[in-house]
A = this chain, B = another copy of it.
Amino acid sequence: MKKITQISTNAKTGVSDILRQMEGAGFGAKRLGIAANILENMIRDKKCTKFMTVAGALVPAGMKGLIIEMLEKKWVDVLVITGANVTHDLIESFGGRHEQGNSSVDDKKLFDKKIDRIYDVFMPNSVYEKLEDGLAPILAELPKKEMSSREFLFEIGMRIKADDSILKVAAKNNIPIFCPAIADSGLGLQLFTRAGVDAIHINNLLDIKELVEIAWNDETVNGVFILGGGVPKNFVMQAMQFSPKTHRYAVQITMDRPEPGGLSGATLQEGISWGKIGKNAEYVDVICDITIALPFLIAGLNERLKE
C-alpha cells in the first residue's frame, strides 16, 4: 500500500505538478490526478480514437476556448455534443454575447428586460435574431437531402466566418461533430421556424451508422472524455454495446449522483457490465463542476504534452 501524499505548493508550483501530487492523495484530488494521467495516456496512444462528449452549458460558461484548443491540438477525434452547445457556439459566431450575471436575481425582471438566464450567465434574447440572420444564408445553400447531424454540422461549420467557433474549427480539421438530439435546441427551433420542416431533413439514425463505423474499426482502440452526461455520454457509450470492442480509456466529469439511477450520474464502472468500458480499461469518475476541473486538466496536459 502506498502512503497518502501530503500536498505542498509554492509560488512556482505548476498545474501538472499539483495534478501529480493529487494522484497520491485521496478523494476528489486523487480522481482528478488520475484523470490527468488517463487523458495523457489516451492522447499519447497513437492507435486511440479519442471521443469527447459535451453536455451542460459549457459554451456560455466560458469553456468554448478550451474545447476549441483540444480540437486544434487533435486531442479529440470525434465530438458528440448537445444542440444547446451548438446553438450557443453559433450565437457567438454570429456576434451574440454571453455576459456575466448573477444567480440570485428576480427572473421576472430579467424577463421584462428580455434577458435569458443560464444560472449566473445572462444572454440577451436578441441573440436569436443574430442566430436567425446568420443561419439564413447558410441554410439556403445546404442540400435538401436527408443528412446525419454530422454532415449537417460539417456543412454549417465550413460556412462559419468567425474563427473562435467549435463548428468551424472542427470542420476545418475534419473532426466529425455528432449532435444526436439536434431538434432539442434553439438551433432545432430555428430550423423548424425559419427553414421549415420541408427544407432540412436530418436523420439521426445516420449518425449511429457513421459513429459505429468509426468506433468498431478493428485497427484502433477507443477512449472517451465525458463532460457532463445526457445524450452525448449515452450515444458514445451505446456505440460499444453490441461491439466486441470497448473503451480502453475513459474519464468522466460530472456533478450528478449515481444513486437515483439515471445514466448521467452512472459510474463508469457500471459500463463494464454492459461491455461499454473494457475490463482492463483505465477509467475514473471525477465528481466536480466541469468548469473547475477542465481548465486545470487542460493546462496540465499542455505542460505534459508540449514538445
Contact = CB atoms under 8 A, between A and B. Distances in A.
A2 B100 contact: yes
A302 B17 CA distance: 14
Max chain B C-beta neighbours (<10 A), residue from A107, A185, A259, A296 = A259
Contact of A259 (B27, B111, B274): B27
A66 interface: yes
Contacts of A298: 9
Given A7-B66, A208-B183, A57 B295 contact: no
Given A111-B272, A292-B28, A9 B299 contact: yes
Nearest to A270: B117
Interface string A59-73: 011111110010000
A78 B118 CA distance: 26
A202 interface: yes
A116 B306 CA distance: 41
The contact size tier of chain A is: 35 or more
B118 A26 contact: yes
Contacts of A183: 180, 204-205, 207-208, 235
Contact of A164 (B6, B189, B255): B6
A261 interface: yes
A104 B21 contact: no
A163 to B, nearest CB: 12
A197 to B, nearest CB: 5
Interface stretch (A38-46, A119-127, A133-141): A119-127
B182 A204 contact: yes
A29 B61 contact: yes
Interface in A267-307: 269-275, 279, 287-293, 295-296, 298-299, 302-303, 306
A237 to B, nearest CB: 10
A119 B108 CA distance: 21
A220 interface: no
B205 A191 contact: yes
A290 B21 CA distance: 15
Interface in A226-260: 228, 230-231, 234-235, 238, 241-242, 255-260
Contact of A202 (B14, B61, B98, B204): B204
22 contacts: A1-B122, A8-B65, A10-B302, A13-B302, A22-B291, A24-B100, A26-B120, A28-B260, A30-B100, A32-B292, A57-B262, A119-B259, A119-B266, A183-B207, A185-B234, A189-B238, A189-B242, A192-B208, A197-B206, A197-B208, A202-B204, A203-B203
5 closest A-B pairs by CB: A25-B62, A28-B289, A6-B65, A183-B204, A29-B291
